[in-house]
Structure 1
Amino acid sequence: MSSDAPVGARPPAGKTFFGHPRALSTLFLTEMWERFSFYGMRAILVLYLTAAVADGGLDLGESSANAVYGTYNAMVYLMALPGGWVADRLIGARRSVLWGGVVIAAGHYVMAIPTGWSVFAGMALIVLGTGLLKPNISTMVGDLYERDSPRRDAGFSIFYMGINLGAFIAPLITGFLGEKINWHLGFAAAAIGMTFGVLQYVLGRRNLGEAGARPADPLLGADRRRALTRVGVASVVVLAVLLVLLLAGWFTVDTVVNLLTVVTVLVTVGYFARILTDREISGTERSRMKAYVWLFLFAASFWLIYDQAGSVLNIFAADQTDRSVGGFTFPASWLQSVNPILIIIGAPLAAALWLRLGHRVSTPTKFAVGLVLNGLSFVLMAAAAQAAVGGDLVSPLWLVAVYAIQVAGELSLSPVGLSATTKLAPVKYASQMLGLWFLATAVGDAIGGQVARLADTWSQPVYFLTFGLASVVLGLAAVMFTRQIRHLMASIH
């Protein structure tokens, strides 16, 4: 007989954190510093890639830089899938978070080395570390609540505040250091932030009780050895492919970006097929997974647009926005702090709203609202781009308004999606399902990186208007399928 709570969930008793389990504070602060490092680096990445060599940058074209940015984000979230597997089958969520944080910090320190190669080597380490940390820390948050508790959405919304507190502070520091002094100094600040996160997690582990202490479905004996052998073989194959590309002269930024985009989509299709055909999951779990396919597609479409804030919109802020205040021109990356500060303000309101509404507003409906709002933000961005036609610099308030609309959409979809993933997950795929949720971001970002290339060939107003209206139409279509999706969710709200 299965329990309604996730496997291994033993919320520790004692002091509370805003009325929630004390363990939430440890996870909140760890995630805050990890997001500080991630968003701090991300805020200046495209600006560094496109900056002239004389200004300390790599002088990549905007098209390639946008694609690199999108693919990097995609790989960060793609690696959440094997990261969830490592936790589920080998070492547990708690140790996965610890080792992930250590590897992330190492990656940022490598990026701080003032050479061109260090940036790509550092990004590779950050990708691996985030894959271990990101899905498993969210799984541990889910372990603190009963599966269908209304407090669960509120807990994830508070956790989401930690994400955005780090994301708000980071661009202000790394942006100033990177744009005004030295790009690699900005990357070093991100490294220090992640170091704080690791230290805080180690000191606060006593609050966690049993959450994430053991693998949900551990591999033992011969099964464990066989799995590790397969991992080793897969690693050798990946290295061999990279070597072939290098020797054939195909190892270019665009080739690698295109290859990784294809891999991201194929992995997604293959993983859904594996779960849906797994005979060990029940009929109810399979039905819930069919509902989750729809939520996944909606989420991927959302992130395709939303995560262009750090690429296309960031370049717009640098080149077409009047950033002068009292004789001081503030860094373009500072505008990356607008989104998280609005989420910090809005997250408690969203948490209170979900508690008040309870189960009266379904998860699919919240997703539909998020898609419509996301689309409207790009419609407004089309107007901003039209105002900049002819070389005029526009007010940064255009971008502030765009981010405000996107935040409303994000609060309708992202924390709700995290919570829905832990509720709809088959027991066998507990941590891996969080990896699958982040794979929606990976697919959106990978395709979004390719889509962003069109910003170089289409006029900006047409580009923003086309994808904005497409998101609005998809959101309205989602409303029409709400009843069918709720039926597939089998009593999960």
Structure 2
Amino acid sequence: MSIIKQKLSGIPEGSAALFFIQIFATLGFAILYSTLVLYATKKLHFSVKEATAIMGVFGAFNYGLHLFGGYLGGRFISNRNLFVGGMVLQVLGCACISGGTVMQLYWGLALFLTGSGLNVTCINMMLTQRFTPEDNRREGAFLWNYAGMNLGFFIGFSAAGYYQLQEDYPSLFIFATIGNFISIVLAAVYWKTLKDRNTPLSLSTPTEFKKKMLVGLAVLFGLVPVVFYMLHQAESTAQIILAIGGLVALTLIYLTVTHADLRERRNMSAYLVFTAGNVVFWTLYQMAPTGLQLFTVSNVDRIVMGVEIAPQWIQNINTFVIVFGGPLMAMWFNQLRAKGWNIDVSVQFATALVLIGIGFLVLPLGIMLAPENGMVTFKWIFISYVFQSIGELLISPVGYAMIGRLAPAKYQGVMMGTWMLATGIASILSSDFSGMVPEASDGLPIVTNPTYSHVFGMLGWGSVAVGIVLYALMPLMRRLITSGPANDQQAEVL
């Protein structure tokens, strides 16, 4: 017992509380992420195109609001207040969705998405504030925080699958409501401990703080009807988001071409290439709760050793690969680098795209080898998720770290925001491809399998092709990612 107390005494105050808060804060998102399309199509009788369009906007807003949430928390409300306020909206959202009507779904999603999109950044900010800049325990704390998030996903996916098999959606969303409410209780218990430290807002006078708080709360709650309206116009909203993405891309290209510092211009050029690959990867990856899940429900034999596997449980394959495969991959890469292998960001991006492409290409193979009834053997969807998850391990951890290395100081905020926007764009594109899959009423698996095979094959070969292009560009990318002297006018202009 004394050893445990000694270990706990070495952890900055509040870090352990944030680990448990992260678990319960993740539950609601995990349940909605894995169930929204099934609930909309099976219970509320949305078409596949309508349901996947809503899911696309859901993903785009969730990622897009993260960056704004960090700004709102640090300068107007405080990260602690915004986190709790966001969780209150999530609780209200899940409770509203449990009512079971279309209108309650839209209002529930608007409440939940506003809260989730804005408060995810807050918990990371509260955690990093527990440490001084020179404290080397920060990395370990974030690993534990990441583990807590994955544990929350595991519990959420497991509960979602259980209630899905019972077709008891009201109880599922009440479960999410209770889970999110527990995170509020934990935050209240450790309220003083989780106080913001060293933020622009902390320098405000009491009068300034009250004024900023009112502005922040007005923004927080004012966003709900805006999101509600945009969810109602999901297809139009998706087109607007894509248009914004195109304008941001053109702006970054212009900034890159006109940037004076040659070394930084090269780094920015490399960033643009990686961003394009990032969009391709996450477009396929975010098919998991949409097109892939619909395929799994209708066209995959989910009886394994006499047990029916709920579609949401399949997404826990990803959780296991991330939790257990991450440390193993890190050790393996360290061994390869010790032997002289150059495992850099270019290798990881290209390999991730090839692996997720293979993950999709095994599905047409499974369809081709399916028995006469057309039901695909479960092992093929299992293999697909394993390949996708290994790809995530390669690309996800290095993405944000890469921005810190490649972005010039004055563009770091813009480039970080663009990286998150790219993931939102991928969510929209993923919903478009998922909208191409057959409706459940279109026929038996043997009838709908050809369409699924075409969509998965097109996506898989496309991703593999982009990965091969990145392999071919690897020498160029390594020249672009240079730490040589700035303003080297003698260097080759690329």
- Residue 245 of structure 2 corresponds to 265
Provide closer, same or farther for how the CA distance between residues 25 and 375 of structure 1 changes in structure 2, counting only shifts above 3 A: farther
The 1-side partners of 2:228 and 2:393 are apart by 39
- Residue 10 of structure 1 corresponds to none
1:469 aligns with 2:469: no
- Residue 451 of structure 2 corresponds to 459
Offset of 1:121 from its aligned partner?
1.2
1:29 aligns with 2:20: yes
Offset of 1:258 from its aligned partner?
3.9
Q: Which moved more, 1:401-410 or 1:265-274?
A: 265-274
Offset of 1:461 from its aligned partner?
1.4
Number of residues of Structure 1 aligned to a counterpart in Structure 2: 466
Provide closer, same or farther for how the CA distance between residues 273 and 59 of structure 1 changes in structure 2, counting only shifts above 3 A: same
Provide closer, same or farther for how the CA distance between residues 437 and 323 of structure 1 changes in structure 2, counting only shifts above 3 A: same
Offset of 1:174 from its aligned partner?
2.1
- Residue 296 of structure 1 corresponds to 275
The 2-side partners of 1:288 and 1:20 are apart by 37
The 2-side partners of 1:394 and 1:484 are apart by 42
- Residue 408 of structure 1 corresponds to 390
Offset of 1:219 from its aligned partner?
13
1:418 aligns with 2:405: no
Offset of 1:262 from its aligned partner?
3.2
Q: Deviations over 1:10-68 (max 9, x none)?
A: xxxx97689986765444433333332211122221111111xxxxx111122322222
The 1-side partners of 2:255 and 2:6 are apart by 39
Offset of 1:116 from its aligned partner?
2.1
Q: For 2:375, what is the secondary structure of its paired residue?
A: coil
Offset of 1:134 from its aligned partner?
2.2
- Residue 96 of structure 1 corresponds to 82
Larger of the two Rg values belongs to structure: 2
Offset of 1:341 from its aligned partner?
2.1
Contact 2:302 2:310 in 1 (8 A): yes
Provide closer, same or farther for how the CA distance between residues 15 and 400 of structure 1 changes in structure 2, counting only shifts above 3 A: farther
2:367 aligned residue (352, 367, 385): 385
Contact 2:69 2:117 in 1 (8 A): yes
Q: Which residue identity is paired with 2:20?
A: L
The 2-side partners of 1:351 and 1:154 are apart by 14
Provide closer, same or farther for how the CA distance between residues 328 and 294 of structure 1 changes in structure 2, counting only shifts above 3 A: same
- Residue 176 of structure 2 corresponds to 190
Provide closer, same or farther for how the CA distance between residues 443 and 331 of structure 1 changes in structure 2, counting only shifts above 3 A: same
Contact 1:80 1:439 in 2 (8 A): no
Q: Deviations over 1:184-225 (max 9, x none)?
A: 221221222222233334445666686675559999999x99
Provide closer, same or farther for how the CA distance between residues 136 and 292 of structure 1 changes in structure 2, counting only shifts above 3 A: farther
The 1-side partners of 2:402 and 2:134 are apart by 9
Q: Which moved more, 1:194-203 or 1:443-452?
A: 194-203
2:52 aligned residue (63, 66, 73): 66
- Residue 349 of structure 1 corresponds to 328
1:448 aligns with 2:430: yes
1:319 aligns with 2:298: yes
Offset of 1:139 from its aligned partner?
5.0
Contact 2:30 2:153 in 1 (8 A): yes
1:305 aligns with 2:284: yes
Offset of 1:167 from its aligned partner?
1.4
TM-score (norm 1): 0.77
The 2-side partners of 1:421 and 1:219 are apart by 35
1:365 aligned residue (323, 327, 347): 347
What RMSD, in angstroms, separates the aligned Cα atoms of the two structures? 4.7
- Residue 128 of structure 1 corresponds to 114
Provide closer, same or farther for how the CA distance between residues 22 and 220 of structure 1 changes in structure 2, counting only shifts above 3 A: closer
Q: Which moved more, 1:200-209 or 1:172-181?
A: 200-209
Q: Which moved more, 1:316-325 or 1:287-296?
A: 287-296
Contact 1:305 1:448 in 2 (8 A): yes
The 1-side partners of 2:415 and 2:64 are apart by 12
Offset of 1:162 from its aligned partner?
2.5
TM-score (norm 2): 0.77
Provide closer, same or farther for how the CA distance between residues 171 and 206 of structure 1 changes in structure 2, counting only shifts above 3 A: same
- Residue 44 of structure 1 corresponds to 35
- Consecutive unaligned residues of structure 1, counting only runs of 5 or more, are 1-13, 52-56, 244-249
Q: Deviations over 1:73-132 (max 9, x none)?
A: 122112223223323543454443333333223222221223221112111122211222
- Residue 443 of structure 2 corresponds to none
The 1-side partners of 2:321 and 2:351 are apart by 18
The 2-side partners of 1:476 and 1:75 are apart by 31
Identity among equivalent positions (%) equals 25
Provide closer, same or farther for how the CA distance between residues 473 and 330 of structure 1 changes in structure 2, counting only shifts above 3 A: closer
Provide closer, same or farther for how the CA distance between residues 18 and 477 of structure 1 changes in structure 2, counting only shifts above 3 A: farther
Q: Which residue identity is paired with 1:84?
A: G
Q: Deviations over 1:138-183 (max 9, x none)?
A: 4556667899999987765554333222212212212222441421
Greater RCO, 1 or 2 (C-alpha within 8 Å, sep 6+)? 1
Provide closer, same or farther for how the CA distance between residues 22 and 149 of structure 1 changes in structure 2, counting only shifts above 3 A: closer
Provide closer, same or farther for how the CA distance between residues 403 and 209 of structure 1 changes in structure 2, counting only shifts above 3 A: same
The 1-side partners of 2:193 and 2:413 are apart by 20
Q: Deviations over 1:337-388 (max 9, x none)?
A: 2221222221232444566678953223222221111111011122123334
The 1-side partners of 2:204 and 2:352 are apart by 37
Contact 2:57 2:234 in 1 (8 A): no
The 1-side partners of 2:251 and 2:300 are apart by 42
The 2-side partners of 1:218 and 1:380 are apart by 57
The 2-side partners of 1:164 and 1:467 are apart by 27
- Residue 166 of structure 1 corresponds to 152
Offset of 1:332 from its aligned partner?
2.5
The 2-side partners of 1:91 and 1:361 are apart by 42
Provide closer, same or farther for how the CA distance between residues 142 and 318 of structure 1 changes in structure 2, counting only shifts above 3 A: same
